[in-house]
Amino acid sequence: MKTLFDSHALGGLTLPNRVVMAPMTRVRAAADGLATPSMATYYAQRATAGLIVSEGVQPSLIGQSNPGTPGLYTDGQVASWRPVTAAVHANGGRIFAQIMHGGRVSHPDTTGLRPVGPSEVPATGEVFTPAGMRPAPVPRALATEEVGEHARSYADAARRAVDAGFDGVELHGANGYLISQFLSSNANLRTDRYGGPVTGRIRFAVEAVSATVDAIGAARTGIRLSPGGGFWGVEESDVPGLYAALLAELAPLGLAYIHLEATSEEEVLTGLRRAWPGTLIMNPVQPMGPKQTGRVEADHWLGLGADLISFGRAFIANPDLVERLRIAAPLAPVDDATYFQGGDTGYLTYPAYQHTA
C-alpha cells in the first residue's frame, strides 16, 4: 500500500513524498501585488513538501479578490516572485502558482473596479476590503465576447508564472471564485453558450484550462475543484453529473493533476477518482471547517485511491510538517488570529519540532 512518504511522478517532476502544501491566502503581499522577502522565507521553510501550491495569485487587477494578495500580471510582479521560487528550489522544493480570479467575490474598494461575474448575482455575505468587511456588491455580467478574455487571463498568468520560476500552475476552480461561479446553477443564469445546461456551464472552465495547457503545457497545469462546496452562496445542481462531465472534457488534455476538496459525500468523490485517469490530489477535510487534515485522514484517502494529500492549516504552524508526520511528532497548534493580520508574526515565527528527552 502506498504511503505519504513514497515518491510520485508528477508531470516532469519527481516528488519525494506525497504531501502537498495546499494553497492558503495569507495577505502578506506588498503594494501593487508584489511578492516579498518574507514570502520567500515562508515558502522556503516548507520546501520539504512534495509539492507546494502557492496562495491564490490574481491574473489581473479585476481578478483580485482580497487586499494584500499577490499578482502575476505585471513585469514587476514576475520579478518579485523570482526570489521566492529560487528560495524554494534552493531548499530542494517544487512550487506551483495557484491562479485565482475572484470574479464576483471582490469589491471596488479593493481594486477600484466593479467586479465581474457570469451574471448580475452577488455573492452571499461580506467580502474583505481595505476598510474591513463589506457586503458583496452586484457584479457586472460579462458580455459573451468578454468571457474568452477572462478565460485566457489564466493562461497569460501561467506564462508569467513559468517566467517567474514556478514549476507549474493550478487554476483555482473551487470555493466560489470565477470558474466555480460559471459552474454554478444559481450564480450563472446565462442563456448564451456559457450558461444553461451542464455543457454550457463547464465551458468556461474547459476554455481556461485548455488555454493554459496551450501556453505552458499539460504537465505544468492542474486545477482545484470543490464539488458541491457552496462557498459564497454558490449552488450546483446535479453535482456528480456536473463534475463527471467536466472531468470527461479535461481528461484528454493530460493535466498534471486535479485537486479535489472534501466538499461532497465520499461516494461522489470516489466516483470522481474512478473517472479521472491521472494524478488526484485530495484535501480530505472541509476547508476552514472545525477539523484539519492529519495522518489518519491522509491514510484513509490514500487507501481510497488518492495519489497525493494536501494539508492546509497544519502547514502554517508546522513548517516541518513532513518530518513531523514521518516520526509521528505532535503538531503545533495554529493561531488563527494571525492568518490575515500581515507581518511576520504567525507567518515566519513557527519553529521546527524540537525533540526533548
Catalytically active residues are: 177
Reference 175, options 238, 250, 125, 110; nearest CA is: 125
SS3 content of the chain, % helix, strand, coil (to 5): 35, 15, 45
How many Cβ atoms are within 10 Å of 336's Cβ, its own excluded?
Answer: 12
The angle, 0 to 180 degrees and rounded to 10, between the axes of the packed helices 75-90 and 144-163 is 50
Q: Residue 90 corresponds to which cell in the numbers above? A: 534552493
C-alpha to C-alpha distance for 312 and 248, rounded to whole angstroms: 28
Question: Degrees (nearest 5) of the Cα angle 276, 19, 38?
Answer: 120
The length of the chain is 357
- 218-251: b (≥16 Cβ within 10 Å) or e: bbbbbbbbbbbbebbbbebeebbebbbbbbeebe
Output phi, psi for 314, to 5 deg. Answer: -60, -30
CB neighbour list of residue 145: distance below 8 Å, 6 or more residues apart = none
- 305 secondary structure, DSSP code: T
How many Cβ atoms are within 10 Å of 120's Cβ, its own excluded?
Answer: 12
Contact of 176 with 164, CB cutoff 8 Å: no
The angle, 0 to 180 degrees and rounded to 10, between the axes of the packed helices 239-250 and 266-275 is 20
Reference 70, options 57, 85, 88; nearest CA is: 57
